[in-house]
Amino acid sequence: MNEVASQVEAPAGVNLPIYMDNQATSPLDPRVLEAMMPYLTSKFGNAASRNHSFGWEAEKAVDTAREQVAKLIGATAKEIVFTSGATESDNLAIKGIAEMYRERGNHIVTQVTEHKAVLDTCKRLEKYGYRVTYLPVKADGVIDLEDLKRAIDEKTILVTIMAANNEIGVLQPIREIGWLCHEKGVLFHSDAVQAIGKAPFHVIDDYVDVASISAHKIYGPKGVGALYVRRRNPRVQIAAQIDGGGHERGMRSGTLNVPGIVGLGKACEIALAEMDTEAAYLRGLRDRLEARIEADLDFVHVNGSMEHRLPGNLNMSFLYVEGESLLMGINDVAVSSGSACTSATLEPSYVLKALGLGDDVAHSSIRFGLGRFNTEAEVDYVAARVVSIVRHLRELSPLYEMVKEGIDLTKVEWQAH
């Protein structure tokens, strides 16, 4: 593999390895680090310490961050609850609503391609007697609104549908979902982690009642996130899942991670100011990557809707190639494969299978996650590397040869030896 790998030279100005896995995490923006530094050093107060200037300074920084997060999504500062990240936010939202509204009903609606933080939380609630409906998605990864309409009944208390998918980048029709939920008097939670700061998301215009946010997907620090909880029309109540000193209006106790919160706030401020230009830039990079790969390879296709999609996401299947082998071949580029990114097993991605893809196609998939700091030169290098490795792997594949000769693989009777 190495002699093939060396066929593509990295041009001047391209530093290896190249990071293209921004849906997994994004690098910390230097401006975010700069905002955080004082709170990691001299301004180390506890935001709950009300008796001296160290505490007041920390509390003021947290208040500023609350405003910055709220502004990005069209909320008010009082509607922002800080957490340790999106997984906690999803758990707090879903379990907290389920507990608080138990008198009203026990039915929750979600969809099959949600993040594990949502799916596993719903599975936990099923053990406690809640009913959960898992909506299918169409071949493009988008839910059918008619399915959602049919799923809601008089016992439904919550619909939880993500704004954008972490694997295929597909955007769900959040506004239509929110409107439908409000019409039926059902609360609507959205895991908006991948969408916020990258695609338009406005809690009032989109009728969202509760939304999960994470800092490290928008060039902020890891280990900090937020939950938006609507205060009026309707006022949403959430039962705390972590008890203690009654921090965050009693919804989430625990000493606040002040430097992390400052970082999240700054990341949101930057996203608000730069989202439109950045989205256009990323869309350009993504389309360039797709075009270069498709110009030089056959039997490749994009998974999920191209029309309703995050600007920086490209999830492609390279038929007759193992995704893991391809990853090993392009080991100077950080991307992820369609095989399980959620566990150590080589199960094909449940998201890709939900689109109706066969195991073989799902196994041949790669997710490219383009971000703020990627360049055109990097895209060109990555495209050339991928093309080179795929060609090499296909030379070793008898299946590819048979398909090129016009043999229909579905009609072949394989014999076991």
Rounded CA-CA distance 367/166 in Å is 10
Q: Write down the pLDDT at residue 412.
A: 79
Supply the DSSP symbol for 308.
Answer: S
Q: Is the pLDDT of residue 3 over 50?
A: no
Residues 220-264 have pLDDT tens digits of: 999 999 999 999 999 999 999 999 999 999 999 999 999 999 999
User: Which pLDDT does position 184 carry in this prediction?
Assistant: 97
* pLDDT: which is higher, 10 or 114: 114
Task: List pLDDT tens digits, range 184-205.
Answer: 999 999 999 999 999 999 999 9
Query: pLDDT at residue 63 above 60?
Result: yes
CA–CA distance, 201 with 191 (Å, rounded to integer): 11
Find the catalytic residue in 122, 181, 268, 341: 341
Q: What are the φ and ψ backbone dihedral angles of 201, each rounded to 5 degrees?
A: -150, 115
Interhelix angle for 258-296 vs 376-395, to 10°?
A: 50
pLDDT digits (tens, 9 = 90+) for 160-177: 999 999 999 999 999 999
For the ranges 171-180, 318-327, 383-392, the lowest mean pLDDT is seen at 318-327
Q: How many CA atoms lie within 13 A of 89 on its CB side?
A: 28
Query: 234 in helix, strand or coil?
Result: coil
Please say whether the structural domain 2-28+275-409 has been given the CATH code 3.90.1150.10. Answer: yes
CA dist 82 and 70 (Å) reads 11
Residue 180: CA count within 13 A, CB half-sphere = 22
Report how far apart, in Å, the C-alpha atoms of 160 and of each of 70, 188, 397 are.
20, 6, 42
Task: Provide the CATH number for the domain formed by 30-271 in this structure.
Answer: 3.40.640.10
List helix spans (H) across 6-100. Answer: 30-40, 53-73, 86-100
30-271 matches 2-28+275-409 in CATH topology: no
State the amino acid at position 319 in one-letter form.
Answer: L
Sort residue 166 into left (φ over 0), alpha (ψ -120 to 50) or beta.
alpha
Q: State the pLDDT confidence band at 344, using cuts at 50, 70 and 90.
A: low
What pLDDT does residue 235 have? 98
Q: Is residue 341 annotated as part of the catalytic site, yes or no?
A: yes
Which residue's entry shows tokens 């997994």? 24
Name which of 57, 54, 74, 78 is nearest 66 in CA terms: 78
**Residue extents of the structural domains in the chain:** 2-28+275-409, 30-271
Enter the pTM of the model: 0.95
The secondary structure of residue 266, as a DSSP letter, is H
- Mean local confidence (pLDDT), 344-362: 88
Question: Which has more confidence, 328 or 413?
Answer: 328
Mean per-residue pLDDT, 57-81: 98
* Ramachandran region, residue 11 (left: φ > 0; alpha: ψ -120 to 50; beta: rest): beta
Q: CA 114, CA 212: separation in Å to the nearest integer?
A: 13
